[in-house]
């Protein structure tokens, strides 16, 4: 179990009765103008979560002799974390369409020359030049559970949070936990989340050095991550140039698969494949890109392939042309898209790129859905110069990274799916 000293604090909120906003991974996107009763967050109210946890803990446990016994932590039936939240993973992010308005002007004030990446222009993480050979990278990410197993949730949350450092071409130094848990959550469940995260941070070359906790009826977990890189070898959203080839290092479809799993519509093997992908680190892919002199990249997470591609295209002053038939998908993802599954987060993503997206005739609806699907711990999207493509793809393949060529960078603006 993770332990900490003064760096690990637990401060209860001043108003424990505060409401909790549940996002919409299970159904149609909530609109503020929707009639009363159209969406109910009763299951996320503190008393509701406490009641469900209390019921779990109070349920009699049968011994080998079939007599009721008092439940201990080791005897409690497996707790399904996804029953405590309405939406998990990066699908719980505020939509890019909402953030683009809310953040307008933020960061426009004069920043020190040493801040080489931040809000203006925006990038995957902040980067601060300490010397001619060292930049410190900082980022933060957290979300509610998207899987039921506590250790797996910690692993995915950690991999996702560290991805921004790798998307900037950096290495992870250390991380701090950001945790919000119901007080009734069994301590062994909390410990499994911390242990899963700690193991993943170690695999990334860093250390989980502490953190902060608060009480919250809806569990949430993530990391604040500090990394480092050479300031002249950063991967940037604005580094793509016309003629570059677009390469994606993970398959798409985690949002579709996780959302359908909540409704029992995902095959167990398909969910297992998605979990394995989300656990995977972008460390090796990042090192290969930096080692080959690539300068343009981002990671594909909650805004989907088209949303993050649009951000990169806009920052680069170019047009990203994606080839629909080349998009790699996780097993079962396209079947679910054909069946009408789509997360509420995808609705935000569609609105975000609607004015900049051109969809070619003949592109099927399920591929459009896949391209908008919010990813959790997705892969890196890189703009690779043609003369370095063979080396990059070859090294990725030898390292076991399932990279695919999915398009090219062109003169112009916006994004296309053709």
90 part of the active site: yes
pLDDT tens digits for 65-118? 333 332 333 334 567 887 767 655 655 665 555 566 666 555 545 678 999 998
Whole-angstrom distance, CA of residue 80 vs CA of residue 162: 25
Q: How far apart are CA 122 and CA 371, in angstroms?
A: 22
In angstroms, what CA-CA distances link 400 with 68, 121, 172, 270?
50, 33, 21, 20
Return left, alpha or beta for 136; rule: phi > 0 is left, psi -120 to 50 is alpha, else beta.
beta
Contacts of residue 191, Cβ cutoff 8 Å, sequence gap at least 6: 1, 2
194-203 pLDDT, tens per residue?
999 999 999 9
**Where are any strands of DSSP class E within 186-341?**
207-215, 220-229, 245-248, 296-299, 319-322
Which of the following is catalytic: 2, 79, 90, 246?
90
- Of 348 and 270, the one with more pLDDT: 270
Alpha-carbon separation of residue 147 from 246, 257, 266, 338, 398 (angstroms): 31, 11, 13, 23, 30
Instruction: Record the tokens describing residue 148, joined without a space.
Output: 């039921």
- C-alpha to C-alpha distance for 29 and 172, rounded to whole angstroms: 35
Distances (CA, A) of 151 to 109, 193, 197, 310: 42, 5, 8, 34
Q: Using CA atoms, how far apart are residues 84 and 50, in angstroms rounded to an integer?
A: 10
DSSP state, 324? G
- Find out whether the peptide bond into 121 is cis, omega within 30 degrees of 0: yes
On the question of pLDDT at 13 being above 60, the answer is no
**How far apart are alpha carbons 126 and 140 in whole angstroms?**
10
Average pLDDT over residues 17-29: 34
Question: pLDDT at position 139, please?
Answer: 97
Share of the chain above pLDDT 90, in %: 70
- Residue 92: its pLDDT value, please? 60
Asked whether the CA dihedral 320, 323, 328, 334 is positive or negative, the reply is positive
């Amino acid at each position: 179990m993770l332990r900490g000293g003064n760096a690990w604090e637990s401060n209860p909120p001043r108003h424990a009765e505060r409401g909790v906003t549940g996002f919409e991974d299970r159904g149609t996107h909530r609109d503020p103008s929707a009639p009363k009763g159209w969406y109910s967050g009763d299951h996320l109210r503190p008393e509701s979560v406490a009641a469900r946890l209390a019921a779990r803990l109070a349920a009699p446990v049968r011994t080998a002799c079939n007599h009721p016994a008092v439940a201990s932590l080791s005897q409690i039936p497996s707790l399904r974390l996804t029953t405590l939240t309405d939406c998990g993973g990066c699908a719980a992010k505020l939509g890019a369409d909402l953030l683009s308005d809310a953040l307008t002007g933020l960061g426009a004030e004069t920043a020190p020359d040493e801040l080489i990446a931040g809000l203006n222009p925006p990038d995957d993480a902040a980067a601060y030049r300490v010397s001619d050979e060292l930049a410190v990278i900082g980022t933060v990410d957290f979300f509610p559970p998207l899987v039921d197993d506590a250790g797996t949730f910690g692993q995915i949350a950690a991999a996702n949070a560290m991805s921004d450092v790798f998307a900037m071409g950096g290495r992870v130094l250390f991380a701090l936990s950001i945790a919000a848990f119901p007080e009734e959550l069994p301590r062994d469940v909390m410990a499994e989340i911390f242990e899963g995260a700690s193991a993943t941070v170690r695999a990334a070359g860093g250390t989980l050095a502490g953190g902060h906790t608060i009480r919250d009826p809806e569990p949430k977990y993530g990391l604040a991550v500090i990394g480092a890189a050479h300031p002249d070898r950063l991967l940037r959203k604005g580094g793509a140039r016309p003629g570059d080839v677009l390469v994606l290092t993970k398959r798409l479809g985690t949002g579709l698969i996780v959302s359908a799993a909540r409704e029992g519509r995902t095959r167990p093997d398909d969910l297992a494949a998605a979990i394995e992908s989300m656990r995977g680190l972008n460390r090796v892919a990042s090192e290969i890109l930096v080692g080959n002199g690539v300068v343009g990249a981002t990671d594909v997470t909650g805004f989907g392939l088209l949303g993050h591609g649009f951000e990169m295209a806009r920052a680069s002053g170019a047009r990203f042309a994606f080839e629909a038939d080349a998009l790699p998908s996780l097993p079962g993802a396209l079947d679910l898209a054909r069946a009408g599954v789509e997360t509420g987060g995808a609705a935000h993503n569609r609105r975000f790129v609607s004015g900049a997206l051109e969809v070619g005739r003949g592109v099927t609806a399920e591929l459009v859905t896949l391209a908008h699907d919010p990813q959790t711990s997705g892969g890196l999207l890189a703009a690779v110069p043609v003369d370095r493509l063979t080396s990059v793809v070859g090294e990725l393949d030898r390292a076991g990274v399932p990279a695919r060529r999915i398009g090219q960078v062109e003169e112009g603006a916006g994004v296309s799916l053709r």
